[in-house]
Amino acid sequence: MSTPIETSFADTERHVAEVAAAIVSGEPLSLGIASASLRQATLTLSDAVQRLSPDQQLDPKFSARVRKMASALALQRESLIRRTVLVERALNTLVPATREVAYAQGSVAYGRAGRPTGAFGRLSA
């Protein structure tokens, strides 16, 4: 019979694998679903770890599993960054962005007080 922490680890590792498969497939909808499931699984795992005693939390077997998942998530993050760059390049090829700034940069700092127009000769509070 597996313990709740073992079940949480196995569930989280399964969701990490699902996210990896979704990244490879390139399907945005499946990636969103897999990522949401992974997020929930990591929250469940975190709750399970918090219920462990400090000695159990320092178990080398658990530490190794956490390091393995952390490295897999780092690789997935890098893959997503690469994919984002590729998509942006493709979009710039299809729809070139204008190189001009939408709003002209003023020569004065933002929030500078306006110049008096002389319309109000005297103000009183």
Q: Is the pLDDT of residue 106 over 70?
A: no
Contacts of 18 (CB under 8 A, 6+ apart): 34, 37, 38
* Summary mean pLDDT of the chain: 83
Contacts of 19 (CB under 8 A, 6+ apart): 31, 34, 35, 38, 76
Q: Percentage of residues in the chain with pLDDT exceeding 90?
A: 45
Q: Is 14 left (phi over 0), alpha (psi -120 to 50) or beta?
A: alpha
pTM for this predicted structure: 0.68
* Residues of the chain by 3-state class (helix, strand, coil), percent to 5: 65, 0, 35
Q: Percentage of residues in the chain with pLDDT exceeding 70?
A: 76
pLDDT at 91: 86
Mean pLDDT value across residues 49-57: 86
Are 69 and 12 a contacting pair, CB within 8 Å?
yes
At 57, the pLDDT band (50, 70, 90 cuts) reads confident
At 22, the pLDDT band (50, 70, 90 cuts) reads very high
